[in-house]
Structure 1
């Protein structure tokens, strides 16, 4: 456990964080399981963690009820044995042990044990407090393209219980995009090991951008990161794939600037009236 570093992927919904996760988890030294916010969901109950077998049993039972944890396809009895063997001393160690177990079961080394969840964008300070040595990777995407994706999700027909609940009201989307990305930028300024990258750079120059990310993390670039869409073992779970089908494809620069032919001129104007300053600050205007 001493060799493992916590890593969090943060971003506004529909900003490409799932694709980003797959790229990173295809690195031989990085493991980022499918999203599940158990770290914060169980924090209040277990924050004063005291290792003993009864507490481990209680935690594993609670963990097994966590939303989306079934997509990890792990054996909770084996996980309990793994946690007991590792004797995590703190709640942070306990949470990392869960990801480490997932990594081992999926034949990954996991020097970096990661977590990706858009839900975390409103809890960044708490995550930083729980994991003071964590690395944070933020992803920002042109908010007008994000708006297109929000609207597409609203129209999506799916039987999945995990379909995101997103607005299709252009002003609401713009305000949320500004608030979320401002929160992320503000916290990242206070954290040493935090960097924000642009979705557009990840898509249009994936090798260069991923090489930069690897340098930031202190690991060598791994060519497998570019082949994320070819690896069945790390693809998005079936339960969330209906709105994440782009993760099955190579990076597609056609996703950049699509708002110009999807949104109406009035919708673009209304979005820019609210988010213009942040769009400009990030090179989108």
Structure 2
């Protein structure tokens, strides 16, 4: 079984890329698990001191399995430590993929980018796919979704400053792996402008052949990997096209635009050559 994690800054095309990849006949993917975000007891001093999993870890895993349509699978009652529950999580995804005769599974939770070292140490032979979007457009989309869905994004209020900080942090992490053989960085701009050659390069990294179903069936696949409580993902099923700059110029005034461009310029995305961000 081949195991892949798709990560990146939120609102950078992670769900679109996931839907395209999961339309391959050898690949299965799931709604976001947020598994590693709930694994550790950072706000539970006693559990943290004992090295145990958080109280939220197993309920969240059970919720993920139910939302994914696999309610027959349950978190192991014997898993008390992070490494044990991680092994159980990986084994469960292996089983779900095998049941569907798939050779590859893709777990897509954007914020798992903060757990890459742990995943590398505790998942057998993982590989990572990063998607990166131009700063001004990722920031605009982050700001927009937080404004439209404040309840769902309560932990991340609509703020230009916070949106920029999030993009800078996440992209900086991804760029650390530009030359890593186990990581593949994808440009959102390249994906929407030239989807087939971009996917062909990615398929080569994943050791599978590109198939036309990836471009023909992604809209229906998007329904399977998105949940009803995630209405901001509804547009993924639309024809592939770039929405870049539209929100940036409609949401922000000239002074705000200048500020965003100045701050996001701190990261040089030309390092992504031969797949540069335009």
Which TM class, normalised by the smaller chain length?
Answer: 0.7 to 0.9
> What's the C-alpha RMSD, in Å, of the aligned pairs?
3.3
1:15 aligns with 12
Q: 3-state SS of the aligned residue for 1:7?
A: strand
Q: Deviations over 1:43-89 (max 9, x none)?
A: 789xxxxxxxxxxxxxxx9645438513212133xx2599xxxxxx9
Q: Find the aligned partners of 1:126 and 1:238 in 2 and give their Cα distance.
A: 30
Whether 1:155 aligns to 2:147 is yes
How many correspondences in the alignment? 256
Look up the match of 1:144. Answer: 136
Instruction: Select which of 113, 119, 129 maps to 1:127.
Output: 119
Deviates more, 1:270-279 or 1:91-100: 91-100
Tell me the secondary structure at the aligned position of residue 199 of structure 2: helix
C-alpha deviation, 1:199, in angstroms? 0.7
Of 170, 191, 195 in structure 1, the residue corresponding to residue 160 of structure 2 is 170
Alpha-carbon shift at residue 252 of structure 1 (Å):
1.6
Alpha-carbon contact 1:140-1:198 (below 8 Å) kept: yes
Matched, 1:41 2:30: no
Mapped contact 2:22–2:221 kept (Cα < 8 A): no
Trace 1:112-261 onto structure 2 (pairs within 5 A).
112-131=104-123, 133-157=125-149, 162-163=152-153, 165-186=155-176, 188-189=177-178, 191-226=180-215, 227-231=217-221, 234-240=224-230, 242-253=231-242, 255-258=243-246, 259-261=248-250
Q: Which deviations, in whole Å up to 9, do the C-alpha atoms of 1:199-238 show, x marking residues without a partner?
A: 1111111111111100111101121211210347625121
CA distance in structure 2 between the partners assigned to 1:214 and 1:31 by the alignment: 14
Sort the Cα spacing of 1:9 and 1:280 in 2 relative to 1 into closer, same or farther, 3 A: closer
The SS at the match of 2:156 is: coil
Greater displacement, 134-143 / 191-200: 191-200
Q: Secondary structure at the match of 2:229?
A: helix
**Alpha-carbon offset, residue 157 of structure 1:** 4.8
Task: Provide the TM-score with structure 2 as the length reference.
Answer: 0.79
Give the SS at the match of 1:139. Answer: strand
Instruction: Name whichever structure is richer in helix by fraction.
Output: 1
Distance 1:164 1:202 in 2: 30
Normalising by structure 1, we get a TM-score of 0.77
